[in-house]
Amino acid sequence: MTLKQIQSLVRHEPITMLTCYDASFAAMMARSNIDALLVGDSLGMVFQGHATTLPVSLADMIYHTGCVARGAPNSFILSDLPFGSYQASPAQALESSAALMAAGAQMVKLEGGEAMLETVSFLAARGIPVCAHVGLTPQSVHALGGYRVQGKTIEDAERILNEALSLEQAGANMIVLEAIPAELASRISDLLAIPTIGIGAGPNCDGQVLVLYDMLGLYWGSPPSFVRNFVENGVTSIEMAIQAYAHDVKTRRFPAKEHAF
């Protein structure tokens, strides 16, 4: 699976994506119609037990990216640039991105809007495919005052929309829209040529992503309202749950109204 193939899916069917952190799950996802595997810094919370994604290091991301790439060598893999590994300068972002791609990633993901335009452009000009990420950006959890829905006011919605447009113009190849109103996500998806991947952003994005552990019901406390537990209704294995997720995204049965804002 290549970036060009991922982008071509937009004209035909929704893109399926899940977070993945190890070789065994990667191999299972490769068998289960998951188009793209995101080595997410969410591993800091679900895998390492931290309260946020902030403690995750570049070394952590390199290690887990290598694990996933060995388990699913033919899958499309994108990896998060962790907090502190790209914000200082475009040159720092390039060095960190090169390390992730050497480990097996075909794309890197970074969070942020206007402040990241120069970095996105710098990476794109040097052959690094970039997935942008706007809306709720978990690495900014303290600045945002918690894990809150973004884009609820007219001003905030316009800011997010303009960020998405600017990131595409800067050279982003894909964009994640997290925890924003479904109407805003639909508007952004209509305006952008690059694929939009929603997580808590309603049904009208070009694709969907969830944290693997969340969709398997392996969460601490209450899950986000946009999460659905796919280990239910006669599902008797993890692989069946992943296949059910892929099927429901492809047929637009997920997300439903209750999973949107």
Q: Specify the DSSP element, H or E, that contains 19.
A: strand 15-19
User: Catalytic: which of 178, 183, 232, 239?
Assistant: 178
Q: Specify the DSSP element, H or E, that contains 198.
A: strand 196-199
Residues (pLDDT < 70) of the chain are none
Q: What is the CATH number of the domain that holds 161?
A: 3.20.20.60
Amino acid 220: pLDDT: 75
Active site residue 178: yes
258, burial (CB in 10 Å: exposed 0-12, middle 13-18, buried 19+): exposed
Amino acid 232: pLDDT: 85
> Whole-number mean pLDDT of the chain?
96
Distances (CA, A) of 221 to 43, 46, 214, 218: 17, 12, 11, 10
Closest CA to 105 of 139, 73, 78: 78
- Number of folded domains that form the chain: 1
pLDDT in tens, 228-240: 999 988 899 999 9
pTM of full prediction above 0.85: yes
By residue range, what is the domain housing residue 234?
Answer: 3-259
